[in-house]
Chain A
């Protein structure tokens, strides 16, 4: 589904990703862990198409299409979704109007009929239950005045409505208390299907107790230095990142 080869990218002339490679197949959950500043969020932003980041080399293929040549909206319509680490508040743009426009753009791109207001509201009702999200929030402007937890839940709610092929969760656990974490990860798990995939970006192992990954990758200095099964996350939790940093320094490039 997603094939990243030797991806190098940076911002303001500063290199952050340095030849990153990763392969994700349909039905899989991959976790990317790493210390602060290792390039986790940069990877998420580059995949979503944030203009400020410059890709200097490498390729990303998404379901056979060269992802890096697409505009952000084209990537979303092709089935890519980023749950933001810091969802932005957009005063004056109503949540429902926004999400209906987004869904219908994605449906159009998939050759599906656009939903009318009644159909859309029925869908929204169903999905808000999944995330235990107060439907009253959707009468407000996008993320405006939402608590930190509500913003994160709203991200996964949008994911539930848009039904992407590949969801990238960027530090979705940060700022969540344990109850909210259970709701959010429960939602993510219910959305798992054999034909979609999830990339979970996190600093802590905690989230991976709830969203259990098939593969865990450790990102250090813009490269994946170690990959393994879910037990690798537990090892990182126990031993921290230092031993890997040591390994990476000793072994040179993996």
Chain B
């Protein structure tokens, strides 16, 4: 039986995803694409639960899907459709519908703006030099099937670049919407964010569905931070609960750079987020903030990697999970402290609130430390709502449902407060309220 299963897992899978077709682009990109495709099989192979990295996240169902490259949506998607998802006010927004850039729905910076932003395609067709320095150089997909697959076949994506010393106050939103009604549409979204020396940039990367059909998003985002650069990156994933969402975010940090990363996962049937940073020069600091809300049959997986390669860097990681129904959460937090990375300060916290006896969380810290003069701490907790607090609120006249909602909201509070973008915070408040209204009935603990 085991043999049969293993046999099935070894079958070449890449073909079913993209029928051997590489994405477009100039010669240098084609070279990278061919290299990535060559690695897919058999070097990397489609992930199975026998691999430690995918132990709790079974991707096998994806192979049963009638996957196909997303086609231009039959339905017309207009400004009124994207309005509910816009979080940058009247600011910069790059809209992609079913993977295709929609200039007509986007708001791009003009020639006098303090940054450059647009579709990758537009840049590589015009002046690709900056892309060539960064694209597919940071997230190489050496070991990750989906990252390599993305590199081989992404059609388009977003490019955002802040020149040296530019301080861009207004956030840039990258908005990906799935609209196709035919089940199994796959989009490989690719983003490149470059913050040059001393610049400052805020990017909201959001994913949502306008369709109820199951679809696949396979996103890769590379973020290069120059010396003294600051980037706040907020990834919001709220796709429909039949979708599969796979994402990799890879930051590479130069001297004294500061990366504030948020991953807010609330949607998809299965969501796998790989959030990684390489602290590659002295004085770099990373804050990894995460919040996942899972209910029903959802699976939410976060794998994070903080790689301390150089001395005197700091990382602070806070991931919070709220699990209801029969949901399954996975958190795996890797911290590498390389031999040269003396005086590292690394901290990791993962807290989980389990609202139902049928919900499940697998949490695992993974620290690999090769330097001797370092400070590393980690902690993981799994708990239920505090019954004493619940009684206190109710004893003042607050109904059980609202009291639970207040406590759940309180649990998520720290994660929400770390986001500096007010519209994103407001959006989350709304989402938390809607999600946990009527918690009365969805709870199976106590009364």
Residues of A within 8 A of B396 (CB): 73, 76, 98-99, 102, 158, 162
Q: Judge whether A27 is part of the interface by a CB distance below 8 angstroms.
A: no
Tally of A interface residues using CB under 8 Å: 31
Does more than half of chain B's interface fall in helix, strand or loop, or is it mixed? helix
What range describes how many residues of B lie at the interface? 20 to 34
B413: A residues at CB distance < 8 A? 91-92
Chain B, residues 377-415, CB within 8 Å of chain A (1/0): the string is 000000000101101111111111011001101111110
Q: Which of B388, B391, B406 has the most CB of A within 10 A?
A: B391
Q: Is A184 an interface residue (CB 8 A)?
A: no
Q: Taking the complex as formed, is B447 at the interface, i.e. its CB lies under 8 A from any CB of chain A?
A: yes
The contact of A90 among B393, B402, B446, by CB within 8 Å, is: B393
Complex Cα–Cα for A50 and B409 (A):
23
Chain A, range 13-60, C-beta contacts under 8 Å to B? 48-51
Q: Which residues of A50-75 have CB atoms within 8 Å of chain B's CB atoms?
A: 50-51, 71-73, 75
Are B389 and A88 neighbours in the complex by a CB distance under 8 Å? yes
For the complex, give the distance between the alpha carbons of A56 and B125 in Å.
Answer: 81
The A interface, classified by DSSP as helix, strand, loop or mixed, is helix
Q: Is the CB of A109 within 8 A of B397?
A: yes
- A71 — which chain B residues lie within 8 A by C-beta? 394, 400
Pick from B391, B403, B446: contact of A50, CB below 8 A.
Answer: B391
Known: A73-B400, A92-B411. A98 touches B394 (CB 8 A): no
The reply to whether A72 and B394 form a contact with Cβ atoms under 8 Å apart is: yes
Query: Per-residue 0/1 for A118-155: is the Cβ within 8 Å of any B Cβ (1 yes, 0 no)?
Result: 00000000000000000000000110000000000000
| Chain B residues within 8 Å of A50, by CB | 391
Question: What residue in chain B is nearest A48 (Cβ atoms)?
Answer: B395
B391, B399, B407: the one contacting A51 at CB < 8 Å is: B391
A49-B395 in contact (CB<8A): yes
A interface list, Cβ under 8 A from B: 48-51, 71-73, 75-77, 82, 84, 87-88, 90-93, 97-99, 101-103, 105-106, 109, 141-142, 158, 162
Residues of B within 8 A of A (CB): 386, 388-389, 391-400, 402-403, 406-407, 409-414, 446-447
| CB-defined A-B contacts under 8 Å, sample of 30 | A49-B394, A71-B394, A71-B400, A72-B395, A73-B394, A73-B398, A73-B399, A73-B403, A76-B394, A82-B395, A84-B392, A88-B386, A88-B392, A92-B410, A92-B411, A92-B414, A93-B393, A93-B406, A98-B393, A98-B398, A98-B406, A101-B402, A101-B406, A102-B398, A103-B397, A105-B398, A105-B399, A106-B397, A109-B397, A158-B396
